[in-house]
Every structure is written in structure tokens, then in C-alpha cells.
Structure 1
Amino acid sequence: MFDKILPLYGIQPVESDVQLFGDGLINHTWKVTTKSNGYILQQVNQSVFKRPMDIDENVSRLKSYLNKTHPEYLFVSPIAGTSGNSLIETPEGYFRLFPFVENSHSLNVLNKKEEAYEGAKQFGRFSKLLNDFDVTQLHITLPDFHNLTLRFSQFISAVENAPAQRKEQSTDLINFIMAQRDIVTIYQNIVERKEIPQRVIHHDTKINNVLFDQQNKGICVIDLDTVMPGYFISDVGDMMRTYLSSANEEETDLAKINVRKDFFKAIYDGYMKEMGDVLTATEKQYFIYAGKFLIYMQAIRFLTDYLQNDIYYGEKYEGQNLNRTKNQVTLLKKYLELEPELKEMIS
């Protein structure tokens, strides 16, 4: 495969070393090393991203804007191939090639609050630099990705049509989710009343989508496939969901799931360092809600999949999505318990 793809970028396969790279779950990724340069080669997952050209056009428009307004920002975008196109279609699928950023690294696990601060600062900086970009120019690469109203509707349908045994095993979880449906109502009000503006939002703010330098200072954000119009609560909420607990979403020992208050403050300080003068007063009131919004939605998505016999996420072992739901529900409960303290921390 590489013998056919690399020459499309002017790279000779015999002079290149190609190795699988990273822990991404969506796209296939390889590091390509030549005598003089390093690259990241990626195959776009078309089962997830139905229109890869939309991603390419989004990135191209953002690159053009940032080159004019903030040329100092490191915007990691695809390299044009010999045809002049940065997204190349082959019989094997769509591919793009990125420059490898030397002396950089990414993190898969957050161990220090300073790392959370740097991650939040970089995602905040990304949205801040694009604050004046016309968000209507961007394609929706994943329709309804963070549409909580739709996710809740799908959950209700899954409950109604679930196999009796799976529904019985989920009774407590279903009851908890139903008891917290005011989270959905708040989201509906945000959308219907246009309480907060749509912005250029990354939508996937896991820490491994931030590049760090050798001193563990943030450089920039990467993996721009999900960049599209959205609300800031998506980016902040995803950081809350993935940064706060020292245990990840696969942890089955619920006693290990926690909310690190110093990490919450680090997320707030880092994000607001960049976006503090950009967010509206109403947006700032929804900062803590952002965590509830995303954790709740992910719990719904995991349980919906379990009730539908694991047709979306699949399962590596029996009951994995049920365990994932328990994990996220536990995280949400602990987050809700701490809400008064969190409000005091940022008041």
C-alpha cells in the first residue's frame, strides 16, 4: 500500500521507514521517516467521516485565515501532494500527510495539574484565535455529534425497545439518567433561545490532541477532523470528562473514579487565560454546566449502545458498555456532589 501512496507525495518508499503511530481509535496513522524529514500519514475513517473532503476544506479555510491573522501560530495542516491536493483519494481510501513536529510529544495520561492547565490553555487559545472567523464557512463533519436532545431521544427509544434482560440490568442507571433530565432541558434552552453563540470548536479535547514541547508546555492542538461550529461547553465539557478523574472511562473499579478539584481549577485557569475576555457573561455562567453536559451525554451514549446490543461502540468483553455507563454515572454523581465547591472555587 505504501509503495503506491508515498510517491503521491513525492516520497520514495525505499528510502522511508513506516511505523504505526499513536493510540487513535478512529483513523489509521503511521509515522513516515525519511533521511531528511518526518511525517505523519493518516487514512481517514470513512465509516465515521462520510465526507472527508469537508474536513479538508475546513482545515484549508482555517489555515488561510490563521496565516493572515496569526501567522505565528503553529497550525498543523496536511501537506499538498504532487497533484496539488492535500487530501488524496486512492483505491484504499482517502489519505493525507502531515509534517511531524520535531521535539514535540503528546500525552495519553494526565498526571499533573500543570498538564491539564496547558491542555485547557491550548484549546482556549485555538478558539480565541478563531473568534472572528465566520463559523458559517465550516462544514459539519459529524452531524449532531454533541446534540444532547437527540442523544436523549435515542436513549428513550432504546429503553422502550431494549431486551428485557438488558433493561433489567440497567434499571438503576436508567432511573438516574431520567432523574437528571434537567441537564437536557438546559441544553434545549441554550439552543432554542440562542443564549450563547456558536464558535469554532474542536469537539475532541482529550489531552492527546495537544502537542507539548520538551518542557511540557503546550504548543498547539492537533487532530482537527471534528473542528466545526459548536458551543464552548463541548470543549470544556470534554476536558472535564477526560481530565478530572485519575481513572479513565474503562475503569471497572468504581472506587477509583474521582474528581480532582485541583485539576478542575487548572482547566478553568488555563481555558480562561485565553477565553476569559472572549466568552460572554452568559457563557461564563455555564462553565460548570459544561462538565455535566458532556459526562451525562457520554453516559447516555454508552447505555444506549448497551440497550441496543452494542451496535455502535461494540464490546471487547460482555457488558463493557454497561460498565462504561456505570463509570460515567459515578463520575457525574461525584461531580454533582462537588458542584457547590466548584462554584466557590471560580466565583
Structure 2
Amino acid sequence: MIIVTGGAGFIGSAVVWKLAQEGIEDILVVDNLGEAGPQGKWKNLVNLRYADYIHKAEFLRRLETNNDAFAATAVIHMGACSSTTETNAEYLMNNNFKYTKAVAQYCLKNDIRLINASSAATYGDGAMGFDDDPDALDQLRPLNMYGYSKQLFDLWAQRSGVLGRLASLKFFNVFGPNEYHKGDMKSVVCKAYHQIKETGALRLFKSYREDYSDGGQMRDFVYVKDCVDVMWKLMEHPDINGIFNVGSGRASTWNELAAAVFSAMDLDPHIVYIEMPESLQASYQYYTKANMERLASALGKYTPTPLHEAVADYVQMYLNSGDPYLG
């Protein structure tokens, strides 16, 4: 059995989809489905094949009270609060750091493969670069509590001497199917599609730095299908462990991303540049780019889907679809 925590969420449900593609259906989904509205996470599960579901609180209780509660071969731990704007620090500490530590301790004690979701938010403003060298971990300064909660687990794993027994993945700007429940945390691709459909135009923030034009701010955008391909390879190679970036290895501008969305929708670009809220200006990231050398060295050649192809697949196969979920 393979356990996928956060299995009804964005990346987690894509993992369940990938496992089923590989012929694995003995999957335990762990999550908190919340509300059953039309944009609820439950819709991510409808097209998927899995064996059982358990609430995240019951899962944790059983982990902590029964040493052999789950006869699992692997845990893919995607469950966490993924909101970069969450202000309840105690909630993030408990839900992201302490919960993940409990999952890791259980896996280590029972010799279960663990793949964990860290985040590129641990890099903060990027002043220290985006190199996933574990020796530089304690030099990173996340800008928000979400990033700090992810950083804490990576530091715990390193200081406990167990980083060589698990894989912790720093995801960059992930986009793709099954993110529809995420509200403000949806990718710009998803937001742009609906904004363009409604208004015919896309709004992007102006730049407040002379070295970047409006819409010239850069991000490493990575397709969720590429992310789950990486996790599958790590499942196949349980001897490969440590911290790894998961991005495209390319920095693309918001203008390039916008052009890809308009092209996928068969429309001419129409971009309106708007003022950035003052609360964001001081901490806004103008550049992110994953260094993918360590992952490529560990797993072999890494060839992510080019941005325009990934956006086209997402828009034309999912966002345009009446049933826009993986399955």
C-alpha cells in the first residue's frame, strides 16, 4: 500500500493519478475534505482510483498510538497548509512542521519510503540563490511563516541525521489540473484563463525595479505532471534521498506566461499592468529559478515540459473541458 497525504489536494491528487497510471491502486488517501461545495477538493477524487480514505486527524492519531498501524511501502507526504498568506503561525507550526515530523518518525521507524513536499518558499528573497545544497540550509531566510514551516522540517531532518533516508522536494511555481479548489493560491495560469474568458484581458503587476520591465518579473514555472514524474522516479529509486529542487530550471517572465495562455486560448495578447499593493512591494520576488543539477545528477536527464506546451495542455485538455480533472 502507498499512502498519499493531502491526496485530495492539488499535487497530492496528481500523485494518485500518476500511481494509477503506473498500475497502482492500493492507495490510502489522507486528507481533510472540508466543504462539499462545487469547488471542493472532493471533486479531485471523483475520477481517481484508490483503495481507501482517512481523515488527517485520525491518520495522525493512529501513527502516534500504533507502531504498525499501516502496512505501507511508501508515504508521499503532500499534506500541509499551502497558503503563503496564512497568518496563524501556531497552525502552520502544528500542521506543517510537527505533523510532518510525526510522519517522518513513523516512516523511519518502520523502514517506509518517505517523499515529502518542501517548498521553494524556503529560499526567501533569493539573496542566497536557489541551490538545493543541503550544506547551505541554515543560511536560508524564508519571507513568510509558510516557508519557515517547511524550512523547519528540512533543518530537523538534517540535524537529526536522517536526511539521507528520505526525499524532501522544494517545489517551485507549480501549475496544472486539480488546483481549482485553491482560491487565491491558484496558479496565475488558472487565474489568467478565467480572467481572460470574462474580460478579454489579463492584469499583471507593474514592476517597481528599473532592471525589470512591467511583466518582466521572472519565475520558475513547472507543470504538475512533471512534478509527479519526478516523484515516481524517486519511488523507483528509494536509495536516492536528500533535498531536491523541483522546477523547470528556467526563469520565464510573466509576459511569456501570459503569451502562452493567450496562445492556448487562440487569442491575441491583451495585458493591462496594474499597481502592486504596497504591502507586497517590499517582499515581492522578482526572480526565481531552480538549480536542477542535483536532481538531474541523481535521477538522470531531466527534461521538463516547455512552458508553452505545458500551458497549452492545461488550457486545452483541462480548463476548456467540461470535466477538468485528472482521471
* TM-score greater than 0.5 by the shorter chain: no
**Larger Cα Rg: Structure 1 or Structure 2?**
1
Q: Which has the higher helix share?
A: 1
Provide TM-score, normalisation by structure 1. Answer: 0.29
Is the strand fraction higher in 1 or 2?
2
